Each structure stands twice: as structure tokens, then as C-alpha cells.
Amino acid sequence: MESPRKTLRDHIAERRNVDAIVLLKEDHKTVEKLFKQFEKAGDEAYDEKRKLVDQIIEELTTHAYIEEEIFYPVARAEVPETSDHILESVEEHHVVVWMLSELKDMDPRDERFDAKVTVLMENVRHHVEEEEDEWFPEVRKAMGRKRLQELGEEMEKGRAKAPSEPLAVSSAQQ
Ligand SMILES: [Fe+2]
Ligand SMILES: [Fe+2]
């Protein structure tokens, strides 16, 4: 629970200290929670599944946007040895945002709905594992805490500019 004594400014100051990688991992956890809820939802819980998928679309679109617009280009420029990983990550985003855009307009009663969400979850889980285990640690080591905090602040601000349409994320058109 939040302490009631904290002012808005304290909160803003706190957010400023969140480094970029911590912020991205928090997003990953939020999405994983939604995936687990989806997996627990009953086969015929169509309204619940629709709501969860809408939340998943919003979270992942925003996340892909701040990674592609801010984190990936900066990491690639400042830690060039991660380039191959980043190029692969963008290809994975490409598949994910197209799946999100299909799910946006798909009826949860459609026999392909659950199958599509399942493949989406497999893709995202694999992608997150590669980010967290294979190349984020290299970025952390090379960039250091202070630089990652600056970047985290920039990404926190960047969220406000994220599109709601998955295909508006740049990897969709690449
Ligand atoms: Fe990513
Ligand atoms: Fe990510």
C-alpha cells in the first residue's frame, strides 16, 4: 500500500529513480499477470477474455512503442554489441503487433481466438526471456545505473505518446 503521507512530488521523484530496465521488467510482469488471468478464464468467459485481451493489447502496444522509440535505439547506439539481439527483437515485435491488431477485431467466440492468444503468449514469453536473460544484462553492464535512470525517466514520459493502434508501432511497417 502507498503511504498516505507521500505527496505527488514524492511519487514523481520516485518514478524518476526507476531505471529503464527495471521499468521494462515491471511491464513484463504486468503482462504476465494478464496472461495468467487469461489462462485461468473459463472457455466461455467471453466478456472476461475480451477485456483481458484489450488490456494486453494496450499494455503491449505501449511497451513495444517505448522500447522501439527509446530503449532499443539508445541501447544499439551505446552498446553496439547488442545489435543482433535488437534486430531479432524488432522482428519479434513485428509478429506480436500484427497478432495484436488481429485480436483487436476478433470475436472471442471465434474458434481461432484462444489459439491466437496462446500463440501470442508463447511469442511474448520467449521474447521477454531473451530480453531479460540474453541482452538486457549486457546493456545494464555497459550503460550503468545513472544513464539507465535518465533513460527510464525519458521512457516514463514517452508512454504518454504511445499509440493505441498496434500497427502504428514502427516495427509493424518494417
Ligand atoms: Fe521487446
Ligand atoms: Fe520488453
Q: Between the CA atoms of 61, 25, 12 and 7, what dihedral angle is there, to the nearest 10 degrees?
A: 110
Q: What is the mean pLDDT of residues 6-13?
A: 60
**pLDDT score recorded for residue 16:** 58
What ranges do the domains of the chain cover? 8-173
Fill in the amino acid letter for 76: R
Q: What is the mean pLDDT of the chain?
A: 93
Q: How far does the centroid of ligand 1 lie from the alpha carbon of residue 128, in Å?
A: 7
Instruction: Give residue-wise pLDDT tens across range 91-131.
Output: 999 999 999 999 999 999 999 999 999 999 999 999 999 99
pTM, full prediction: 0.91
Q: Shortest CA distance to 165 belongs to which of 101, 117, 105?
A: 101
Contact 149, 16 (CB under 8 A): yes
What is the C-alpha separation between 151 and 157, in angstroms, rounded? 10
**pLDDT score recorded for residue 13:** 53
Percent residues over pLDDT 70 in the chain: 91
Residue 31 has pLDDT above 50, yes or no: yes
Listed in sequence order, the residues at least 6 apart from 161 whose beta carbon sits closer than 8 Å to its beta carbon are: 65, 69
**pLDDT score recorded for residue 1:** 47
Q: How far does the centroid of ligand 1 lie from the alpha carbon of residue 9, in Å?
A: 30
Q: What is the mean pLDDT of residues 2-17?
A: 60
Residue 132 has pLDDT above 70, yes or no: yes
Q: How far does the centroid of ligand 2 lie from the alpha carbon of residue 128, in Å?
A: 6
* 44 SS3 class: coil
Q: How far does the centroid of ligand 1 lie from the alpha carbon of residue 120, in Å?
A: 13
Count of C-beta atoms within a 10 Å radius of residue 42 = 8
**pLDDT score recorded for residue 174:** 79
Instruction: Give residue-wise pLDDT tens across range 47-64.
Output: 999 999 999 999 999 999
Ion ligand 2 residue ranges (Cβ < 5 Å): 24, 131
Q: What is the mean pLDDT of residues 11-34?
A: 86
Task: Find the ligand nearest to 92 CA.
Answer: 1
Q: How far does the centroid of ligand 2 lie from the alpha carbon of residue 164, in Å?
A: 17
- Classify residue 144 by burial, with Cβ atoms within 10 Å: 0-12, 13-18, 19+: exposed
